[in-house]
Every structure is written in structure tokens, then in C-alpha cells.
Amino acid sequence: MNGQASTSKASVLRQFYALTKPRVIQLIVFCALIGMVLAVPGLPAWDQVLTAALACAGIYLVAGAAAAFNCIVEKGIDAKMKRTSWRPTARGQLSDTQTLIFAAVLCIAGSALLYFCINPLTMWLTFATFVGYAVIYTVILKPLTPQNIVIGGASGAMPPVLGWAAMTGDVGPEAVILFLIIFLWTPPHFWALSLYRVEDYRKSGLPMLPVTHGSEFTRLQILLYTFVLFAACLLPFVYGMSSWLYLAAAVVLSVGFSWYGWKLLRNYSDELARKTFRFSLIHLSVLFAALLLDHYLL
């Protein structure tokens, strides 16, 4: 009996953990950490390392709360889509009350940690990001307009700003540049996914761009956004945040993303859309890793 009870508890814990969308949160925290690192000239002192660790923990908790709340709002939609039908809320494994309490606890704990151990600005910016994603994007924009991912992308672009604010107590132009890069990266990233998941989105009733405007229009938008993103990725070098190491990585990655966009427009296939989506993840991760290397090596 004890073995069954412990297995059951472990299963419930895994379900709660799944609500936080761990892979998404890992990318959020990574981008926030880049903002923290770039805000500190040279190697950080021990107290700065501790500040960064606590800030990452606080941001992780609040982001997890937003993800869990999102699962409540979208449980009906999630149940219709193959990509999300496994989520505990969509399968009825966790009730709305359980999920709401879990989200509230994470949000309160993360906000308190940021307010008392980091600074009030970081807490309020993180809480505003929570509201932007969980309420403005999920509840209002996502079911209302095919431009949902463009407008709602502002919330997803906030992590470097949060990281910068955590270390400096303000928001500098460097943080705004990092925000702009993620903001412009988000639409082609998600539209590539929505192209090969278009039937899922059609069944869900969500007005994603391929559903409302068709595949060709969406592919044109992806290509145009990769061009604008290319220009934004050059800004850290132009502004003096980075040197030639980052510039080389940014050019190669941006040419690659634009090349995928061009191929999608000329000769579409679901497999190519999947490859474009996967490359977009590589693009952002390697781009920010190049910023990190450039910061310390040059």
C-alpha cells in the first residue's frame, strides 16, 4: 500500500510539474540569465551570482504560475489538439481548483522572492509579464485576432529585460534591444509551428494566421519577419554591446533563418515547416549563447 501511495504522489507531482511547461520555462530563464550576465561588466562577484540565482528562481516560479493558469483557460482547446491533449488539465487529471491554487502559490512565492531579495522593479515587471501572458494574451488576444502572437509576443520577449532589471535596478537600452530581438523572433517561430499544425488549430477554433489567411500569406509573413529580425540581430554590434564574434554568429544564424523562410515560401511541405520551427529554436539559443561568449571572451 505504501508503495502505491508513494507512486500516486509521484504521479501527481509530475502532473503539477507538467503544468509549468518546463521546456518553455527553461528558455525563459536562459534568456533572463543572458540579460543578467550582460548587465554586469566582466566576471560577476559572489553577491551578484547569488542575486542572479535568486532572480532566476523567482522568474521561474512566476513563469510557471503563468503557464499553469494558461492550462486552466485553454484546457478545452488543449483537449482538441494532439500537441497539447496530454496536459493534466486537458485530461481531467487535475481540477481547475487544484491548478488555480498551484498557480497562485507559485506566483505569490516568486513575486515575494523578487520583491524582497531582488528589487521591486523586477517584481512588478515580472508580474506585468504574468498578466500579459496569462490574461491579455491567453484570454483576450489568442481567441480574438490572428495577430495574437505578434501582440502577445511582448510578454514572451520580456525575460532579458527582467534579468537586466534584476542586476541593475533599471531598464537600459541594451535590455530593450534584447527585447526587440525576441519580439521579432516570436511570430516566424510560432507561425512555422502553426503551418504544420494548421488542422489542430482549425479544430480548436483559434484564429491562427494559416487558418484565417491561408498558408501562402503566412509563409510570406514568416519570410518578411526573418528579414526584419535579421536587422534587429545586428543591433547589439551596432550599439556596441558586442564585437565581431557575436556579429559573425548573428549573420550566419539570420541568413539561415531567412533561407528557411524563402524555402517555405517557394516550396512548402510540413516537414520543411517542422525544420524551420526547430531551426528557430536553435537560432535564438545560439544567438544568445554567442552574446554570452562574446561578453566574456572579447
Confidence of residue 8 (pLDDT cuts 50, 70, 90): low
Model pLDDT, residue 5? 47
Model pLDDT, residue 205? 83
Confidence of residue 141 (pLDDT cuts 50, 70, 90): confident
In sequence order, the 6+-apart residues with CB closer than 8 A to the CB of 247 are 234, 237
pTM of the model: 0.90
Q: Average pLDDT for residues 120-139, to the nearest whole number?
A: 91
Model pLDDT, residue 10? 65
Q: Average pLDDT for residues 155-175, to the nearest whole number?
A: 95
Confidence of residue 3 (pLDDT cuts 50, 70, 90): very low
CA distances from 261 to 18, 107, 157, 248 (A): 32, 38, 21, 20
Confidence of residue 2 (pLDDT cuts 50, 70, 90): very low
At 92, give phi and psi (nearest 5°): 75, 15
pLDDT at residue 248 tops 50: yes
Average pLDDT for the chain: 91
pLDDT at residue 229 tops 90: yes
Confidence of residue 7 (pLDDT cuts 50, 70, 90): very low
